[in-house]
Amino acid sequence: MSKPAADPPDNGEEIYDILLVDDQPIIAEAIKRMLVTEPDMRFHYCQASDRALQLAHEIQPTVILQDLVMPDTDGMQLLAAYRNDAALSEVPVVILSTKEDPHDKSAAFAAGASDYLVKIPDRIELIARIRAHSRSYLSQKQRDELLQEIKIVHEQLKAVYAQLHQSHQELEKLSCMDGLTGISNRRHFDTYFSQEWLRALREKISTSLILVDIDYFKLYNDHYGHQAGDLCLQAIAQALADTLQRPGDLAARYGGEEFVVLLPYTDAKGAENIAKQLLDTVKKLAVAHAQSPIDAHVTISLGVATLTPDSSVAPSDLVQIADTALYQAKEQGRNRYVLADISLLPKAPRPKAKVKTRKPR
């Protein structure tokens, strides 16, 4: 192995390392002389075939010039060894042969040689081929490294995206949830009602809504304290949500001790059934209410309204007639449901309105 033939240029240009593997020092001397004037080329020489792989690992050549006939081995065996070595498999190998033999040439290319030259090659041609193979090898190497970096960054981005997606879903869930009772909050109800209203309008199907109020809840709070009041709200909320069996049905906290139940694709008969079940479920909870003038346990009143949306009614109309029905249920002694009177609806056509619901009492 020789020392570098010339000092490399210090202008940021690529340096090409050429490893010649040939048993004849006279060939090495001839080729070294051809390359010595080239400032971008460093010449390395290996005489013994059994050291070729090790030297190639040390030097990391951009081109290997490989003698075809050597003692103990031949150039084709070494070529196969380079190709089977992960660190060398892409390094261009130029076979140096003593004769122009089509059979050898074809075998060399089939085994992965990049080029085939007859000794001793013409200087201009040798330099041109070394440069072309080295450039192509180095730029391919850079592309591979870049691709590898891109793959790593891509994997990192994927992991970050997955985390963001999960956080977003958790936030979304939290922003839809009522903090005290764990069921849907008013905000989520408004959004959901808006969507379902439009769907019912398109498909001309009836939608039902039930407003639920806990009877004498102020007396309950005054008597048992606010902590017990919160537990009572949680129990009622959970009971309402548990009563709803269909995936499209929604129970939400409307505010204070009021709840709302939305029943898409539900007619008046179906809504009345649900109202009965809700009354029954709360009754079975049997939460003691010593101050209630009407029962020993906590009870609820319900206003039940059903509409098939058209352009003459707005979502707020459904809430309004349910509210009127709830008021009537209270007037009639509480612990009951009242079905809304649809004739109370405004008659005149009105522009389409967004969901606008009243403030809870």
**Candidate ranges 69-77, 202-210, 238-246, 292-300; the one touching Mg ion (CB under 5 A):** 69-77
11-30 binders of Mg ion (CB under 5 A): 23
CB of residue 95 to Mg ion, shortest distance in Å: 12
- State which residue, 36 or 69, has the beta carbon closest to Mg ion: 69
Of the candidate spans 65-73, 79-87, 142-150, 284-292, the one that interacts with Mg ion by CB under 5 A turns out to be 65-73
Query: What torsion, rounded to 10 degrees, do the Cα atoms 158, 162, 165, 169 define?
Result: 170
**What's the closest the beta carbon of residue 153 comes to Mg ion, in angstroms?**
48
In the complex with Mg ion, which residue's Cβ is closer, 30 or 69? Answer: 69
Within 10 angstroms of residue 303's Cβ, the number of other Cβ atoms is 27
Size of the site for Mg ion (CB under 5 A): 3
Binding residue (CB under 5 A) for Mg ion from 55, 69, 231, 244? 69
- State in angstroms the smallest separation of the CB of 22 from Mg ion: 6
How near is the Cβ of 138 to Mg ion at its closest, in Å?
Answer: 28
Which stretch, 61-69, 129-137, 182-190, 218-226, contacts Mg ion (CB under 5 A)? 61-69
Name the minimum Å distance from CB 70 to Mg ion: 5
Site for Mg ion in 147-206 (CB under 5 A): none
Residue 67 or 115 having the CB closest to Mg ion: 67
Complex with Mg ion: residue 97 or 292, whichever CB lies closer: 97
Active site residue 257: yes
Only segment of 62-70, 75-83, 160-168, 284-292 that touches Mg ion (CB under 5 A): 62-70
Q: With contact defined as beta carbons under 8 Å apart, do 121 and 96 qualify?
A: yes
67 part of the interface to Mg ion, by CB under 5 A: yes
- In the complex with Mg ion, the residue whose CB is nearer, 67 or 213, is 67
The DSSP secondary structure of 129-165, one letter per residue, reads HHHHHHHHHHHHHHHHHHHHHHHHHHHHHHHHHHHHH
DSSP string for residues in 277-324? HHHHHHHHH--B-TT-SS-SB--EEEEEEEE---TT--HHHHHHHHHH
Per-residue x/- marks for Mg ion, 278-317, CB under 5 A? ----------------------------------------
Structure token digits, residue 281:
């479920």
Q: Which amino acid is at 274?
A: I
243 Cβ contact partners less than 8 Å away, ≥ 6 residues apart: 251, 274, 277, 278, 281
Helix 75-83 × helix 52-59 angle, to 10°:
40
Task: Report residue 110 as tokens.
Answer: 């089939």
Residue range at the interface with Mg ion (CB under 5 A); choices 60-68, 121-129, 156-164, 202-210: 60-68
Amino acid letter, 260 = V
Give the residue with the Cβ less far from Mg ion, 55 or 345: 55
Cα–Cα dist 101/114, whole Å: 16
**Is residue 6 part of the contact set for Mg ion (CB under 5 A)?**
no
* Cα separation, 77 vs 190, whole angstroms: 77
Minimum distance from CB of 123 to Mg ion (Å)?
Answer: 20
Which residues have a Cβ under 8 Å from the Cβ of 189 and sit 6 or more positions away?
250, 252, 254, 260, 262
Catalytic residue among 13, 100, 203, 257: 257
Exposed / middle / buried, residue 209 (Cβ in 10 Å: 0-12, 13-18, 19+): buried
Nearer to Mg ion, 70 or 287 (CB): 70
Nearest approach, Cβ of residue 98 and Mg ion (Å) = 7
- List Cα–Cα distances, 198 to 175, 188, 207, 264, 324, in angstroms: 23, 16, 11, 11, 23
Chain residues that interact with Mg ion, rule: CB under 5 A: 23, 67, 69
Q: Which residues are catalytic?
A: 257
